[in-house]
């Protein structure tokens, strides 16, 4: 049986994948009505993902004080294989000390987002292959 945090993590991962697909659709459609529909769907998924983040936070405590933390998301630009790529990056802020920190899951999500954006810009099929492999594993 899956624990609650594992289930939330799986749902968030699926939401991220769907958001990425809607972003690709938004960027590649010329039809203004379709573009608006894709934007609306993307924003709805993004809003729901934000709600899930607040639920997941109940399990995260500050490694500095053991107190509450706040999850912050902000656009971050990095250089990756010669390209400047901007994606949303999450980090946590300790409510008691104001110290910023991340964990392995947040760092992995960020690097995965950078990789996906790079592949979509270069029109690499690597990301598509990875998705196909993941589907075959299920």
How does pLDDT run across 16-66, given as a tens digit for each residue? 888 888 888 888 888 888 888 888 888 888 888 877 766 654 468 889 998
Q: Under CATH, what is the fold of the domain 61-138? A: Ubiquitin-like (UB roll) (3.10.20)
Give the pLDDT of residue 136: 64
99 or 53, which is more confident: 99
pLDDT tier for residue 102 given thresholds of 50, 70 and 90? very high
What pLDDT shows up at residue 79? Answer: 95
Give 96-137 as a 3 state SS string: CCCCEECCHHHHHHHHHHHHHHHHHHHCCCHHHHHHHHHHHH
What are the residue ranges spanned by the domains of the chain?
1-59, 61-138
pLDDT score for 6: 61
114-121 long-range Cβ contacts below 8 angstroms, 24+ apart: 114/78, 114/80, 114/85, 114/87, 115/80, 116/20, 117/85, 117/87, 118/80, 118/81, 118/83, 118/85, 120/20, 120/24, 120/27, 121/83, 121/85
Look at residues 93, 57, 58, 60 and name the one whose alpha carbon lies nearest to residue 74. 93
pLDDT, one tens digit per residue, over 63-86 is 999 888 888 889 999 999 888 999
Phi, psi angles (nearest 5°) of residue 119:
-65, -40
- In the predicted structure, residue 1 carries a pLDDT above the cut 50: no
**Over the stretch 48-59, which tens digit does the pLDDT of each residue have?**
887 776 665 446
């Amino acid at each position: 049986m899956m624990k609650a945090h594992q289930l939330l993590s799986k749902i968030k991962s699926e939401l991220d994948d769907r958001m990425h697909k809607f972003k690709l659709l938004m960027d590649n459609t010329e039809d203004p009505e379709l573009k608006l529909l894709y934007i609306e769907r993307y924003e709805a998924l993004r809003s729901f993902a934000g709600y899930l983040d607040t639920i997941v936070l109940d399990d995260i405590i500050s490694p500095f004080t053991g107190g509450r933390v706040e999850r912050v998301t902000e656009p971050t630009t990095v250089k990756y294989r010669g390209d400047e790529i901007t994606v949303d990056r999450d980090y946590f802020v300790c409510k008691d000390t104001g110290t910023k920190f991340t964990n392995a899951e947040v760092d992995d999500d960020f690097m995965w987002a950078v990789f996906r954006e790079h592949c979509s810009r270069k029109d690499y099929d690597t990301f598509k292959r990875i998705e196909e492999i993941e589907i075959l594993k299920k």
